[in-house]
Amino acid sequence: MLCLMKMLVSVLLLVGVLQNCYADNRSYVWTYEYKTMPKGEIEFEYYNTLEWSNKSDSKTNIWKHWFELEYGITDNLDISMYQQFKQANSSTSANVKFEYDGMKIRTRYKIGNKESFFVDPLLYLEFKRNDDFASPNVIEAKLILGKDIDNFNIAVNYILDDVELVSTAKPAAHKYSGGLSYEFSPVLKIGVESTGSFSAEKHYLGPTISFARSKIWANFGVIYGLNTKSDYTQVRTLIGIFL
C-alpha cells in the first residue's frame, strides 16, 4: 500500500508539470489504441510497473523498468525499440537486485484511415529477446481495434504471445486487453482497463487515468485479479516525451 501511495503522489506531481505544456493524449497503459507516431516524429517513453503477488505468503515486490524509443516511418507505420530492466525487493532481505531483462523491437501499422471501417484496425508485431540467451527468441502479434464515439474511446487487443521462432514445443499464449475511456478535456481522460490470458485463465481489471499536453503525457493504471488464478496486482505509470 505504501508503494501504491508513493506512485500516486508521483502522478499528482506530474500533473503540475503538465499544466505548463500543451496538448496530445493517450488513454491506456496496458491496451493499445488506433494510433501510431506521425511521420518523422520521435518519442521517448518510460514504463514503470510495480507487481506484487496476491498470495498471502509472498513478501516480494517486483519493479519493471522499460525504456522505449519510438519513430514514425510514415503516418501509418512506426517502429520502436525497448530496453528492459527489473528489480526485486523483499521484506525478508535487505538486498535489492537490479538486472537487465532483455530487449524488444516492435512495429505498428494502421490499416486505412480513421473511420474507413466500422472499427479502426491496426496490426502490431514485436520481436522479444530475453536476457537468458538459452531461451528461444519469440514474437508477439496483436490485432488492435479501436472506435471513438463522441468523447468515448473503445479499444480491444487480441494478442498471440510467446510464438517461438525456431521450436514449436511450447504452444503460443492467447491473451487480450481492452479499455473504455472518456475524455473530459484534451488534458484529462479517465477509464477502465482489462487484460489477461485465455490460455492461463487469468483476468485483471482496474481504473486508468491519463494526462496530456503537446510534448509530454503521463498515464497511471492499477489492475486487480478477478479470479483465483489471477496471481498478482500491478500498478503502472507510463510517461511519454516528444523529442
Q: What is the pTM of this model?
A: 0.85
The per-residue pLDDT for 239 is: 95
Q: Is residue 94 very low, low, confident or very high in pLDDT (cuts 50, 70, 90)?
A: low
Mean pLDDT on 82-97 = 79
Q: Is residue 240 very low, low, confident or very high in pLDDT (cuts 50, 70, 90)?
A: very high
| pLDDT top residue among 54 and 199 | 199
| pLDDT top residue among 212 and 204 | 204
Residues of the chain with pLDDT > 90, as a percent, come to 67
Contact 218, 239 (CB under 8 A): yes
| Distances from the Cα of 129 to the Cα of 1, 4, 75, 106, 220, angstroms | 33, 30, 27, 12, 27
Please tell me the distance from the alpha carbon of residue 55 to that of residue 204, in angstroms, as a whole number. Answer: 15
Residue 14 φ then ψ, to 5°: -65, -35
**Which residues lie below 8 Å from residue 199, measured CB to CB, with a gap of 6+?**
171, 173, 174, 175
CA dihedral sign, ordered 88, 4, 206, 121: negative
Buried-state track 159-169, b at ≥16 Cβ within 10 A, e below 16: bebbbeeeeee
Mean pLDDT on 104-127 = 95
Among candidate residues 215, 207, 225, the one with its CA nearest the CA of residue 31: 207
- The yes-or-no verdict on residue 21 having pLDDT over 80 is no
Map residue 24 onto helix, strand or coil: coil
> Can you name the residues that pair with 88 across neighbouring β-strands?
62, 97
Residue type, 219: N
The per-residue pLDDT for 132 is: 73
- The yes-or-no verdict on residue 50 having pLDDT over 60 is yes
